[in-house]
Structure 1
Amino acid sequence: MKLGRGARIALSAFGVLVLAFVYVPLGVVAINSFNSDKTFGWPPPGFTTQWWQAAFEAQGPRDALLVSIKAGLGATAIALVLGTLLALALSRYDFFGKHSISILVVLPIALPGIVTGIALQSVIQNILSPVFGISAGLFTIIVGHATFCIVIVFNNVTARLRRLGGSLEQASADLGARPWTTFRRVTFPLLRSSLIAGALLAFGLSFDEIVVTTFTAGPDSQTLPIWIFNNLFRPNQAPVVNVVAVVLVVLSIFPVWLAQRLGGTDATESRL
């Protein structure tokens, strides 16, 4: 279908407005991180790097960054293992309840984050803490993030498996290779790029998660987004918050960009 010149102009203008609505505020935050005025007067009366120096010297953001990295790596590791196994099982085998399991796997990312957070907090307070002695902390953050990171890896691997089909694996089996050998020499090399893309996207999603983290984090396990939220309305911390926000945006963009470069369309499909 061909669009008229007027329709193309209207769609282009609408697209520019949407992008501006999303990215102009990010640009304002980046500029304010160099604003010499502590009250963020606009336009900035001058520029300084003192807020960046203060942010790198502050202990709170560094501790929160370390917790975010640990949580992201832990959730990504769990998501890679479980998401890949689920994708292989649901793509390569037929069994009773297959479609129901597929819905249950994808459901966590479709649910509102606050619902997932409340459910996880209830499990922590009523089961994990009194029965197993596991209180809210880094472990519960990792488990909470893994619930939706699994979906990212699952969708990514499933998309790749659907395009590959099963002919190469069947040929490997016909030549006498055992299932593990087939996976190691045929399936895994073909899935490698989608696994890397899924892992990067899962880490990026975990790194900037705040809703579920609010319900699963303990007092000594503050992630970087939680630190930003808690210090957002403190006048003395506002300039440092802008710097940390800029760093968080950059760190979140990189894995998504790299995932798209490595996984191509798989990276896009995993977000749907």
Structure 2
Amino acid sequence: MRSDRHTASPALKIAAIGGLLFLHLPILLIFAYAFTTEEKSYQWPPPGFTLKWFGVAWERPDVWQALTLSLKVGAIATAIALVLGTLAAAAVSRSKFFGREAISLLVILPIALPGIITGIALRSAFSILDIPFSMWTIILGHATFCVVVVYNNAVARFRRTSGSLIEASYDLGADGFQTFRHVILPNIATALLAGGMLAFALSFDEVIVTTFTGGQQSTLPIWMLEELIRPRQRPVTNVVAMIVVLATFLPILAAYYLTRDGDQIAGGGK
């Protein structure tokens, strides 16, 4: 039996490898510079390798403060996004009303706008309302685009979930909460989990919106940006960059595996 798949040409393979190297080689350089013995400049190849900077980063309280703030902001912003994004997705996908498409566009608009526009708008709003800049203003800023990520995942899964399952649940005597718990939630759970992981990853490494909404607060990416202008202990910044890469890569990888078989939904048919 002949296979429908064609073997890629050598030129196409070389182009694919070149593209991957272009995307990921700079990240590997960050990993290499995290182990360098040179303190104030970047040299290639590195003059030597050491684990010293991991200990230095571990002992610096400003790193821990920035990391703790990033984790808090990411967790709370993701929780807000899961609630609002799921409710918005349910309203848009399961109901028909005038202006539904316009509302859907308004929900996804924040992630399409440049971050600097969102940051300026939020800073102006906080200033007009006389809201002091704090961790909560950062959370509100991050929630604006985290909601979009959860919404996109949830609305796609809602649309692939058969409405007959919900109707059957009501016919069998279940109320709205029981239907959501036993029918809807199991069908959208992986989409919500994937959306939450992606939202957390976006929040964890956000810089522009945080710059306008953070005041004197420094999340881990802001801390890295400030450290890059200092000539001392630059490898510490690369050590922290490794943490950021891992903290964002792992949720994205998990989200990919959770959603790659999203077409196989209970009641959704083929």
Among 246, 258, 261, the residue aligned to 1:262:
258
**Alpha-carbon separation, structure 1, partners of 2:11 and 2:109:** 36
Contact between 1:196 and 1:263, CA under 8 Å: does it hold in 2?
Answer: no
Cα drift, residue 3 of structure 1: 10
Q: Report the equivalent of 2:237.
A: 241
**Amino acid aligned to 2:236:** V
Instruction: For residues 180-228 of structure 1, give each alpha carbon's deviation from its aligned partner in whole angstroms, at most 9, with x where no partner exists.
Output: 2111111112111111111111101100011111111021x21000000
Q: Report the equivalent of 1:98.
A: 100
Cα drift, residue 90 of structure 1: 0.4
Q: Report the equivalent of 1:187.
A: 184
Q: Report the equivalent of 2:170.
A: 173
**Alpha-carbon separation, structure 1, partners of 2:14 and 2:133:** 47
Q: Report the equivalent of 1:78.
A: 80
CA RMSD of aligned residues (A): 1.6
**Amino acid aligned to 1:74:** I
Q: Secondary structure at the match of 1:87?
A: helix
Equivalent runs, 1:212-231 vs 2, <5 Å: 212-219=209-216, 221-231=217-227
Among 148, 153, 158, the residue aligned to 1:156:
153
Among 226, 242, 249, the residue aligned to 1:253:
249
Instruction: For residues 83-106 of structure 1, give each alpha carbon's deviation from its aligned partner in whole angstroms, at most 9, with x where no partner exists.
Output: 000011100000111111000001
TM-score normalised according to structure 2 size: 0.91
Q: Report the equivalent of 1:270.
A: none
Contact between 1:204 and 1:256, CA under 8 Å: does it hold in 2?
Answer: yes
**Alpha-carbon separation, structure 1, partners of 2:63 and 2:9:** 45
Q: Secondary structure at the match of 1:176?
A: coil
Q: Report the equivalent of 2:17.
A: 16
Q: Secondary structure at the match of 2:246?
A: helix
Instruction: Quickly say closer, same or farther: Cα 1:4–1:167, change in 2 above 3 A.
Output: closer
Cα drift, residue 15 of structure 1: 2.2
**Alpha-carbon separation, structure 1, partners of 2:5 and 2:251:** 35
Cα drift, residue 12 of structure 1: 2.5
**Amino acid aligned to 2:36:** N
Cα drift, residue 8 of structure 1: 3.3
Among 43, 48, 51, the residue aligned to 2:50:
48
**Alpha-carbon separation, structure 1, partners of 2:135 and 2:9:** 50
Gaps of 5+ in 1: 267-272
**Alpha-carbon separation, structure 2, partners of 1:166 and 1:60:** 51
Q: Secondary structure at the match of 1:42?
A: coil
**Amino acid aligned to 2:231:** P
Q: Secondary structure at the match of 1:95?
A: coil
Q: Report the equivalent of 2:203.
A: 206
Instruction: For residues 136-190 of structure 1, give each alpha carbon's deviation from its aligned partner in whole angstroms, at most 9, with x where no partner exists.
Output: 1110111110000001111111111111121100111122211121111111121
Equivalent runs, 1:120-131 vs 2, <5 Å: 120-127=122-129, 129=130
Q: Report the equivalent of 1:107.
A: 109
**Amino acid aligned to 1:81:** V
Q: Secondary structure at the match of 2:194?
A: helix
**Alpha-carbon separation, structure 2, partners of 1:77 and 1:4:** 44
Gaps of 5+ in 2: 263-270
Q: Report the equivalent of 1:269.
A: none
Structure 1, 257-266 or 221-230: larger mean CA deviation: 257-266
Q: Secondary structure at the match of 1:94?
A: coil
Instruction: Quickly say closer, same or farther: Cα 1:150–1:265, change in 2 above 3 A.
Output: farther
Cα drift, residue 4 of structure 1: 8.7
Contact between 1:72 and 1:207, CA under 8 Å: does it hold in 2?
Answer: yes
Instruction: For residues 67-114 of structure 1, give each alpha carbon's deviation from its aligned partner in whole angstroms, at most 9, with x where no partner exists.
Output: 000100111011000000001110000011111100000101111111
TM-score normalised according to structure 1 size: 0.90
